[in-house]
Amino acid sequence: MFKRLSSLLLALLFISGPALAQRQVIDQLNRTVTLPDRIDRAVVLQHQTLNLLVQLNALPQVVGVLSSWQKQLGPRYLRLAPQLAKMPMPGDLTSVNIESLLALRPQVVFVANYAPPAMISQIERAGIPVVAVSLRHEDAAQARKINPQLKDEERAYNLGLQEGIRLIGKVMNRQAGAESLIHDTFDQRALVATRLRDLPQSERQRVYIANPNLTTYGAGKYTGLMIQHAGAVNVTAREVTGYRQVSIEDVMRWNPQVIFVQERYPQVVAQILHSPQWQSIDAVKQHRVWLMPEYAKAWGYPMPEAMALGELWMASKLYPQRFKDIDINQRVDAWYHRYYRTAWSQEAE
């Protein structure tokens, strides 16, 4: 017992250390956080932040990650960040093992906006700064929610992503990379908007996002905006808020023309194609059930490659004639070389 307490005390002394230069940031829960001037030991307990840190080439500054990173980021993500295979995992999205965390001597811990307040307080009481990331710009009343009610979803996610990337870049001293990532995301996204500007409402495809166990995304989630930016209509938007389970009867009533399935759930495509319950749905009858590529990460939160590449891929699948001159694989490969420092594999398509 004495040995364990001694090791914890040493960890706390390391964290506090001698008087060093400090700075302050405001996180996405509008909390003022005091940080060391330089971060070399970060722990990341949110998968979206981890993905952004990889794109900012800041993984060498990370010493611990959330335990569900592979489930959240997908089984193929390891090829983009091989270091994750041996990275300590002192907690997850909503919990932390404080002793394991202290043993890593972190200078900052990134958490999700919906991490329990008690979890954040526990880490802060140990003397470790906590930075919360939501990737949304919203009212204070919605800031801690997984399924928020957003007055203006477009503004909330556009501004929120920019603010979140800048926050992460500032914490990790990667400001130049953060600005480049923001610029490339929104510059490439504009291409899709231009190509679809004159698409009549009557020609817009009805789309459903299928997850395991009949879960899907409705209003208030980025996936709805992704579908909208790709020139389509999310069939669930009027009846579903956030991430929710629905019934097969609901899907049959909505009768989508296209069904998209996230890359991390290939088994869902097989279930839909072989289940008698789905055979009357237009998307199944017309063989338009498509597995999304890895870069089209249709999560509740946006990611840069989903905005810059995923929306382009989705639009080109829905309206191929409007994008026949675009070599999407070339664009994806260029993005992966720049932000993941590796070639894009087309196996996911």
For residue 192, the model assigns a pLDDT of: 93
For residue 300, the model assigns a pLDDT of: 66
For residue 65, the model assigns a pLDDT of: 98
Per-domain residue ranges for the chain? 2-173, 199-348
For residue 346, the model assigns a pLDDT of: 55
For residue 283, the model assigns a pLDDT of: 97
Q: Which residue type is seen at 315?
A: A
Q: Fold match between 2-173 and 199-348?
A: yes
CATH 3.30.365.10 for the 2-173 domain, yes or no: no
pTM: predicted TM-score of the whole model, two decimal places = 0.84
CATH 3.40.50.1980 for the 199-348 domain, yes or no: yes
Could you read off the pLDDT tens digit of each residue along the chain, which spans 349 residues? Answer: 444 544 555 455 454 445 568 999 999 999 999 999 999 999 999 999 999 999 999 999 999 999 999 988 877 889 999 999 999 999 999 999 999 999 999 999 999 999 999 999 999 999 999 999 999 898 887 778 877 777 888 898 899 999 999 999 999 999 999 999 999 999 988 999 999 999 999 999 999 999 999 999 988 788 888 999 999 999 999 999 888 999 999 999 999 999 999 888 899 999 999 999 999 999 999 999 999 988 887 666 778 998 999 999 999 999 999 999 999 999 999 999 999 999 886 544 4
